[in-house]
Amino acid sequence: MSKPVLRDSSVPYSPLPSNPNQQNVIVLPVYYHRPNQNYRYLRGCLTCTGILLLLSVAVFLLYPSDPTLQLVRIQLNHVSVKTSPKLTLDVSFSLTIRVRNRDFFSLDYDKLDVSVGYRGRELGVVSSDGGTVRARGTSYVNATLDLNAFEVVHDVIYLIADLAKGVIPFDTTTKIDGSLGVLFFEIPLKAEVSCEVYVNTSNQTVVRQDCYAEDLLN
């Protein structure tokens, strides 16, 4: 019969085992850190925002826009009024129009029309040949309008008053119709600009011109 082992109650721990090589090993599971939910949500929002931003830039760059027209030069060659046998008007203009293509694809146009009128009534129209404006490029078109012996009937009073003042107001309208080649598609485009031109009948010069672009629907 084994002899009981007495334990000293003043010792707060148990004595070491008789075999020092015997040890207890505790195996802990591997802990994987899970990403914060807020971080994942923020990363997803930033990714979506970046994609939408790239799409917006692509649409802005590739979406076709109408060309812009500008009457950069107008020269009066001659103007004269004849009273016999009828009241007629002779006038000649030389014009230079700038066509600017704002798109990233070339612009082809069939013709460019320039009309001249007096107090809302068209006097004549001149058309130029077609051409091509390179992507993000600018082209200049020259046109000359000669109008001889145009009979003035409805605007006699206004014309006499303008002759007395020495300044005749003319209206010019420039139109262009073209197409933009985007990949395998042809997108129709058009533009129009109108100007009010005031001509001095004494020295045959243009004293003032006011131009504004027209908003057209394709």
| pLDDT value at residue 218 | 45
Q: 111: which residues sit within 8 A by CB, 6+ positions away? A: 127, 128, 129, 130, 176, 177
Cβ atoms of residues 101 and 133 within 8 Å: yes
pTM, two decimals, is 0.63
Question: 68-214: which CATH number, 3.90.1310, 3.10.450, 2.40.30, 2.60.40?
Answer: 2.60.40
Per-residue pLDDT tens listing for the chain (218 residues): 555 554 555 555 555 555 555 556 565 565 555 556 677 777 778 888 877 777 666 555 566 777 888 888 888 788 888 877 787 888 888 888 899 988 888 888 888 998 988 888 888 888 888 888 888 899 998 888 888 877 776 777 888 888 888 898 989 899 988 887 666 667 788 888 899 988 888 887 888 888 887 755 44
Instruction: Give 52: exposed, middle or buried? Use CB within 10 Å, 0-12, 13-18, 19+.
Output: exposed
Cβ atoms of residues 91 and 140 within 8 Å: no
Q: What residue spans define the domains of the chain?
A: 68-214
- Give exposure, 65-102, as e/b (b: 16+ Cβ within 10 Å): ebbebbbeebebeebebeeeeebbbebbbebebbbebe
Run of H or E including 200 = strand 185-200
| pLDDT value at residue 40 | 73
